[in-house]
């Protein structure tokens, strides 16, 4: 850093990425000055727990595992809670916030991603709740009537997990997705069918291969009326939107940093400005976006020493994920997006099923395990040179 004063590291964002890197920074450097700037309340919680919280009897409040005060005192942070980072003065090495400028030696952007808002007509389209942070979850719970019928737009990981959670706790989820099967981008069709059928058997209503074109208020009663593209009408007490996320790149883009789908970073997590790093859902790593917990933890372990002056490469373990559909437990490792190959079912019996994805050279590039076969995850990861992802 070139000065004798302890380095000043500023982190924007208090999600798993922001706190992940702050924890690592404090481990590496007891003396560094660490500042956290966040729009949120600054409490620590595990975001993946949002889609299993109903069945576990958790509220937004009880999902907090460490309060903002506790995090600030444990990590000795100068915590600027409820503040927005508005601009980066790169020449002056200062972050401009709604609470004033903060000087940095290194800046870490952990600004996450914003829920995608699909183009939907109707006077109540804006009422759809996208649960991507704790206060969204608090609103979801506040607006959820007992036994409610809940329209979920999107049957990816988040939408399907919410359907699984709602159906087991006395609610009536109705899932709409343009794709023909749930988890269609993660698992082969045979597994998507099993997920659809397992949740349908408990009462989940699916409208697959369809999209919501309008959401209007139901009159005179409370609730909503959604119209699908084939004219089907779906009535619901609440609407959840789980159609995807878009990395928050505005701050970086306005500062002139290289931005693609996310904030572009190199193998050290460094952006096109050597004093600025990016991590988590906002970052585009050399291999692409990676909006999961395991890559965040791997990146945090490298970015902390790098930001403190010891360049360290991120070592990403190939990522296996536990899908938290308790009605049909799944562990999977999705093949890389650009992998060319095919899925094959190699086991399907009373213990569950096992599918593998092999590429043109016959190399194992991904897998899906269901039910009791999930126990093979560690073996499969080892076989692929992978380390199991965090169980979240």
Ligand X SMILES: Cc1cc2nc3c(=O)[nH]c(=O)nc-3n(C[C@H](O)[C@H](O)[C@H](O)COP(=O)(O)OP(=O)(O)OC[C@H]3O[C@@H](n4cnc5c(N)ncnc54)[C@H](O)[C@@H]3O)c2cc1C
Q: Which residues contact 68 (CB under 8 A, 6 or more apart)?
A: 14, 41, 42, 43, 44, 79, 81
Q: Which range, of 8-16, 144-152, 300-308, 369-377, touches ligand X by CB under 6 A?
A: 8-16
Q: Which range, of 106-114, 216-224, 340-348, 371-379, touches ligand X by CB under 6 A?
A: 106-114
Q: Which of 112, 173, 262, 366 binds ligand X (CB under 6 A)?
A: 112
Q: Which of 34, 35, 37 is nearest to 85 (CA)?
A: 37
Q: Is 10 in the site for ligand X (CB under 6 A)?
A: no
Q: Is 111 in the site for ligand X (CB under 6 A)?
A: yes
Q: Is 280 in the site for ligand X (CB under 6 A)?
A: yes
Q: Which of 10, 34, 37, 150 binds ligand X (CB under 6 A)?
A: 37
Minimal distance in Å, beta carbon 324 to ligand X?
Answer: 6
Q: Which is nearer to ligand X, 214 or 327 (CB)?
A: 327
Phi/psi at 97 (5° precision): -125, 170
Q: Is 269 in the site for ligand X (CB under 6 A)?
A: no
In the region spanning residues 304 to 323, those forming contacts with ligand X, defined by CB under 6 A, are 321
Q: Which of 144, 133, 134 is nearest to 171 (CA)?
A: 144
In the region spanning residues 326 to 365, those forming contacts with ligand X, defined by CB under 6 A, are none
Q: Is 381 in the site for ligand X (CB under 6 A)?
A: no
Q: Is 155 in the site for ligand X (CB under 6 A)?
A: no
> What is residue 56's three-state secondary structure?
coil
The dihedral formed by the CA atoms of 232, 235, 241 and 244, expressed in degrees to the nearest 10: -20
- Report how far residue 320's alpha carbon sits from residue 298's, in angstroms, rounded to the nearest whole number: 13
Q: Which is nearer to ligand X, 250 or 345 (CB)?
A: 250
Q: Is 14 in the site for ligand X (CB under 6 A)?
A: yes
Minimal distance in Å, beta carbon 390 to ligand X?
Answer: 7
Q: Which of 8, 29, 35, 51 binds ligand X (CB under 6 A)?
A: 51
- Report how far residue 159's alpha carbon sits from residue 3's, in angstroms, rounded to the nearest whole number: 50
- Report how far residue 344's alpha carbon sits from residue 267's, in angstroms, rounded to the nearest whole number: 33
Q: Is 47 in the site for ligand X (CB under 6 A)?
A: yes
Q: Which is nearer to ligand X, 50 or 341 (CB)?
A: 50
Buried b (16+ CB within 10 A) or exposed e, 354-374: bbbbbeeeeebbbbbbbbebb
Minimal distance in Å, beta carbon 157 to ligand X?
Answer: 6
Q: Is 163 in the site for ligand X (CB under 6 A)?
A: no
Phi/psi at 389 (5° precision): -70, 165
Where residue 52 falls (left for φ over 0; alpha for ψ -120 to 50; beta otherwise) is alpha
CB 216 within 8 Å of CB 225? yes
The dihedral formed by the CA atoms of 359, 285, 296 and 94, expressed in degrees to the nearest 10: 180
Name the β-bridge partners of 115: 245
Q: Which of 1, 40, 205, 227 binds ligand X (CB under 6 A)?
A: 40
Write each residue from 118 to 137 as x if it is in contact with ligand X (CB under 6 A), else as -, in one continuous string: -------------xx-----
Minimal distance in Å, beta carbon 168 to ligand X?
Answer: 16
CB 210 within 8 Å of CB 177? yes
The binding site for ligand X (CB under 6 A) comprises 12-18, 37-40, 47-48, 50-51, 84-85, 110-113, 131-132, 158, 248, 251, 280-281, 291-294, 321, 324, 389, 392
């Amino acid at each position: 850093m070139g000065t004798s004063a302890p380095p000043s590291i500023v982190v924007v964002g208090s999600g798993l990425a922001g706190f992940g890197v702050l924890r690592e920074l404090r481990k590496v450097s007891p003396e560094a000055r660490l500042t956290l700037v966040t729009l949120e309340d600054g409490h620590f919680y595990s975001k993946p727990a949002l889609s299993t919280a109903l069945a576990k009897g958790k509220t937004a409040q009880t999902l907090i595992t460490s309060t903002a005060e506790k995090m600030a005192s444990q990590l000795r942070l100068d915590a600027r809670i409820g503040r927005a980072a508005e601009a980066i003065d790169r020449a002056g090495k200062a972050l401009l916030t709604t609470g004033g400028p903060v000087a940095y030696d290194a800046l870490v952007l952990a600004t996450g991603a914003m829920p995608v808002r699909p183009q939907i007509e109707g006077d109540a389209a804006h009422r759809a709740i996208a649960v991507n942070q704790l206060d969204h979850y608090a609103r979801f719970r506040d607006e959820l009537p007992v036994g409610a019928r809940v329209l979920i737009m999107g049957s990816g990981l988040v939408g399907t997990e919410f359907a699984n959670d709602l159906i087991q706790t006395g609610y009536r989820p109705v899932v709409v997705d343009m794709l023909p099967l749930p988890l269609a981008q993660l698992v082969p069709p045979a597994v998507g069918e099993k997920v659809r059928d397992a949740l349908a058997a408990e009462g989940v209503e699916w409208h697959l291969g369809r999209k919501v074109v309008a959401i209007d208020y139901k009159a005179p009663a409370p609730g909503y009326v959604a119209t699908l593209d084939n004219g089907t009408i779906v009535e619901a007490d609440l609407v959840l939107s789980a159609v995807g996320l878009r990395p928050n790149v505005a701050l970086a883009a306005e500062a002139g940093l290289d931005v693609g789908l996310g904030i572009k970073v190199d193998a050290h997590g460094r952006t096109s400005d050597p004093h600025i790093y990016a991590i988590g859902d906002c970052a585009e790593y050399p291999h692409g976006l990676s909006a999961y917990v395991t890559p965040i933890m791997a990146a945090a372990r490298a970015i902390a020493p790098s930001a403190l002056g010891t360049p360290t490469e991120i070592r990403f373990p190939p990522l296996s994920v536990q899908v938290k559909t308790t009605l049909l437990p799944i562990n999977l490792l999705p093949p890389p997006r650009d992998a060319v190959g095919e899925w094959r079912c190699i086991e399907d019996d009373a213990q569950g099923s096992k599918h593998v994805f092999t590429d043109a050279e016959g190399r194992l590039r991904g897998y899906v395990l269901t039910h009791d076969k999930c126990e093979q995850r560690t073996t499969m990861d080892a076989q692929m040179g992978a380390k199991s992802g965090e169980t979240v």
